[in-house]
């Protein structure tokens, strides 16, 4: 992503307010056009059936990704009294002033071994005193500062494993993947390397082919751990080439680092059960379909759940006819051997970069007097898919619907795509010239002309040489921030962005000229394909989105019925310009958490704030100031009888926001 909501544009907007009169009121009214008011009530069921959320020992609170805590000291009645309890700086702002401009602060801490443990964007692992924020130990793997990672320097979290058979050194260990493709094991009590793991406490991941540059392949999300197995995915640069690195998921022995198995979502060789969905003349040459988002684990069933991405390249699939399963899918693997148990595809033959971007949620939904184990998957398309955890069949109905056809030469599109029946998209999927947004006649007209000149037939309109608006944009809908689940209400809470990309294909031999003309936009070669790609946000000349607000929402969905219970605008222009904050919503990166106290906590917007909402109806109850946007998912824990809410506030370099390096903890006054 490039610049969003350029400051000067919002200054113009505020400056024009006195002169726009009724028209401004109309536009601001549009900021509430997606809002839905409703109430999610608690379900009368045995307490034993909602026994989750005791500790925050994993990235998503537990290995199933509930992001729910049973703590209830902070409530809707007292949340306005929250204050900063402690504030810790990693020192990155001063120590890495150049690198931090190419970073994304997305880390969520875990609480293990009486320490709050988290990773910085540069893969330093830090342990803090949970009550004071004072540093206990620090580990620096000294990642390569010259690698130029395609996805910024990122570390979303670490994972913890404890040996039930041993109490010696490294019997409690932290596992982390790095930006330079290593898997590390360090002692959770001291921060020392676990010498018995791999070589000197690390295993180097082989991408399987020569990289175009060191940062083409990295690991950004926490490993999944089940028993004595640790499993890692990878993040790989998009749109560079067809024959790109494979998106293999790799499993290792958590004690020794010895390889156990690997799974490539793209079928190679004969006998693969989904080979028929890749209908090229030979083995697929494409790479990716990788797993860059967090995975989930069902210990009892012995399953690990993968959110896979699109094959390479993102916007042309003529060399990979067919649906391309297991790409763009939720894939359940046997933890012991990596074999596929079931797979559900959310997008067939993806040419829109609509990865499955978030941790699959392993929840238990109360329906018709019984508990049903499900997998709930939020997506970039704005859909929520709810699947039976045992079989992968839809728990809430899904149907195949016809979608636009007629792509560029050589592109065999899928005639249909899967659409959830019970839950409509949480954000719009269509933009017409009449929808063009602008605060003046001039910029509204320019947005209208952009849409009129493009092929815009709603979601799944194929990329074209004419130009195609993609709504939601390739950042979602939902992204890695994912969702949280309140088991006492059957309520899924998710935040989503509402923006459009404009994607245009061009003949491959015009790459040089396109880069010269559009030097300030993303122009990618897609080497090996007959078309290159140009992508930029659909923005007005004033730097505001061409799609109408709100540009960010948060919603609650009942997973029994699929009904959208409530949906609210999230984000204002407060920290993007002088003057009052206008409630237009902002794109969001980072996700929500829920507490038994009846609250949702979330940062995610482009403002320097963390918010609390009432989980029952989505009413905003509190805001806490941060030094920079909190584009990380918060967490909560109890220490010495006091509940804390913590968020990593570092900003986001690609959004051109203020940058910081601080972890902020809030609590009620003593």
- Enzyme catalytic residues: 353
Report the alpha-carbon angle 419-43-594, nearest 5: 70
> Pick from 183, 336, 197, 204: which is nearest to 256 by CA?
197
Residues in the chain: 670
Which phi and psi angles does 62 have, rounded to 5°? -140, 175
Side-chain half-sphere CA neighbours of 103 within 13 A = 28
3-class state of residue 61 by DSSP: strand
What is the DSSP code (8-state) at residue 288? Answer: B
3-state class (DSSP) for residue 316 = coil
Q: Cis peptide before 531, with omega less than 30 degrees from 0?
A: no
For Cα atoms 421, 427, 433, give the angle at the middle one, nearest 5 degrees. Answer: 110
Closest CA to 404 of 473, 458, 346: 458
DSSP annotation of 641 reads T
Spatial neighbors of 402 by CB under 8 A, at least 6 apart, are 415, 416
Rounded to whole angstroms, the Cα distance separating 600 from 593 reads 6
Q: How far is CA 375 from CA 68, 108, 564, in A?
A: 16, 22, 18
Cβ 567 vs Cβ 591: under 8 Å:
no
> For residues 361 and 591, is the Cβ–Cβ distance under 8 A?
no
Structure tokens belonging to residue 600: 């949702």
Structure letter (DSSP) for residue 434: G
């Amino acid at each position: 992503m490039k610049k969003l909501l350029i400051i000067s544009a919002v200054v113009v907007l505020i400056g024009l307010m006195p002169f726009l009169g009724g028209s401004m009121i109309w536009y601001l009214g549009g900021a509430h056009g997606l809002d839905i008011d409703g109430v999610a009530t608690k379900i009368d069921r045995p307490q034993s059936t909602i026994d989750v959320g005791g500790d925050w020992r994993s990235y998503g609170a537990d290995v199933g990704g509930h992001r729910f805590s049973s703590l209830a000291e902070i409530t809707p009645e007292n949340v306005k009294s929250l204050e900063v309890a402690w504030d810790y700086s990693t020192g990155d702002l001063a120590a890495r002033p150049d690198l931090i401009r190419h970073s994304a602060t997305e880390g969520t801490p875990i609480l293990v071994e009486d320490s709050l443990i988290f990773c910085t964007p540069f893969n330093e692992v830090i342990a803090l005193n949970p009550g004071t924020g004072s540093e206990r130990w620090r580990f620096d793997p000294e990642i390569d500062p010259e690698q130029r990672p395609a996805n910024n320097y990122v570390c979303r979290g670490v994972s913890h494993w404890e040996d039930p058979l041993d109490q010696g050194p490294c019997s409690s260990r932290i596992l982390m993947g790095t930006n330079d493709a290593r898997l590390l094991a360090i002692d959770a009590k001291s921060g020392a390397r676990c010498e018995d793991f791999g070589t000197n406490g690390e295993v180097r991941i082989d991408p399987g082919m020569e990289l175009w540059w060191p940062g083409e392949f990295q690991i950004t999300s926490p490993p999944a751990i089940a028993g004595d197995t640790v499993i890692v995915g990878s993040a790989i640069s998009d749109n560079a080439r067809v024959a790109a690195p494979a998106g293999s998921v790799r499993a290792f022995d958590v004690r020794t680092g010895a390889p156990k198995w690997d799974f490539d979502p793209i079928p190679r060789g004969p006998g693969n059960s989904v080979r028929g969905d890749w209908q090229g003349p030979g083995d697929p040459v494409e790479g990716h379909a990788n797993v860059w988002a967090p995975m989930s684990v069902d210990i009892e069933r012995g399953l690990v759940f993968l959110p896979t991405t699109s094959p390479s390249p993102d916007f042309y699939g003529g060399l990979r006819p067919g649906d391309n399963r297991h790409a763009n899918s939720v894939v359940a693997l046997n933890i012991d051997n990596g074999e596929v148990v079931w797979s559900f595809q959310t997008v067939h033959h993806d040419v829109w970069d609509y990865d499955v971007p978030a941790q699959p949620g392993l929840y238990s939904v109360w329906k018709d007097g019984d508990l049903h184990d499900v997998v709930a998957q939020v997506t970039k398309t704005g859909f929520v898919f709810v699947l039976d955890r045992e079989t992968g069949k839809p728990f809430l109905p899904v149907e195949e619907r016809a979608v636009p056809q007629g792509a560029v030469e050589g592109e065999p599109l899928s005639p249909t795509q899967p659409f959830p029946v019970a839950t409509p998209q949480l954000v719009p999927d269509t933009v017409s010239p009449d929808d063009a947004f602008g605060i003046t006649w001039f910029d509204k007209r320019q947005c209208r002309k952009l849409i009129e000149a493009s092929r815009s037939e709603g979601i799944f309109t194929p990329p074209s040489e004419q130009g195609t608006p993609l709504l939601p944009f390739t950042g979602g809908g939902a992204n890695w921030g994912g969702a949280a689940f309140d088991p006492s209400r059957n309520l899924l809470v998710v935040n989503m962005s509402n923006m459009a990309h404009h994607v245009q294909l061009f003949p491959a031999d015009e790459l040089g000229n396109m880069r010269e003309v559009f030097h300030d936009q993303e122009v990618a070669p897609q080497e090996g394909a007959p078309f290159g790609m140009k992508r930029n946000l659909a923005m007005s000349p004033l730097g505001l989105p061409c799609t109408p607000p709100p540009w960010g929402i948060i919603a609650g969905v009942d997973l029994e019925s699929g009904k959208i219970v409530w949906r609210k605008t999230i984000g204002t222009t407060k920290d993007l310009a002088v003057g009052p904050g206008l409630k237009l919503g902002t794109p969001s990166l980072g996700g929500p958490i829920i507490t038994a106290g009846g609250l949702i906590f979330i940062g995610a917007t482009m403002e320097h704030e963390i918010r609390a909402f009432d989980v029952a109806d989505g009413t905003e109850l509190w805001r806490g100031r941060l030094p920079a946007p909190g584009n990380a998912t918060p967490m909560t824990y109890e220490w010495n009888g006091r509940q804390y809410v913590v968020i990593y506030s570092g900003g986001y370099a690609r959004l051109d926001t203020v940058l910081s390096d601080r972890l902020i903890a809030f609590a009620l006054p003593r």
